[in-house]
């Protein structure tokens, strides 16, 4: 059984693996730094903020590790107008199964 200290250390290790996000906008691949990375117990939330002034069809959101590997991905497509912002979140939970 994982202890609370074990979960805490594993969660912190996963948090430290997170480097950047990657996404496509109108077919072009872009990189974005995390806006915020939070840890609450066994849960990690990674936020990416796409501000006003950028518009288009956003797709293929990916969470990239420090070694360049894809940690998580979301294949949904979001059409964003320039007058609105967009906040994307990846949630990761560490738990024993």
The ranges of the chain with pLDDT < 50 are none
Give the residue among 24, 33, 37 at the shortest CA–CA distance from 75.
Answer: 24
What is residue 17's predicted lDDT score, i.e. its pLDDT? Answer: 96
What is residue 53's predicted lDDT score, i.e. its pLDDT? Answer: 85
What is residue 47's predicted lDDT score, i.e. its pLDDT? Answer: 97
What is residue 27's predicted lDDT score, i.e. its pLDDT? Answer: 86
What is residue 96's predicted lDDT score, i.e. its pLDDT? Answer: 86
Query: In percent, how much of the chain has pLDDT > 90?
Result: 82
* Tens digits of residue pLDDT in 50-71: 988 889 999 999 999 999 999 9
CB neighbours of residue 24 within 10 Å: 16
Give percent helix, percent strand, percent coil of the chain, each to the nearest 5. Answer: 15, 55, 30
Q: Where are the domains of the chain?
A: 4-93
Taking CA atoms, 42 is separated from 1, 33, 81, in Å, by 14, 23, 35
């Amino acid at each position: 059984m994982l202890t609370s200290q074990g979960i805490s250390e594993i969660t912190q290790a996963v948090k430290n693996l997170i480097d950047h996000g990657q996404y496509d906008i109108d077919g072009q691949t872009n990189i974005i730094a995390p806006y915020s990375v939070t840890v609450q117990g066994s849960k990690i939330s990674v936020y990416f903020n796409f501000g006003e002034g950028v518009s288009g069809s956003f797709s293929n959101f990916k969470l990239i590790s420090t070694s360049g590997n894809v940690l998580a991905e979301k294949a949904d497509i979001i059409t964003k107008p320039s007058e609105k912002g967009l906040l994307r979140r990846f949630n990761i939970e560490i738990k024993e199964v």
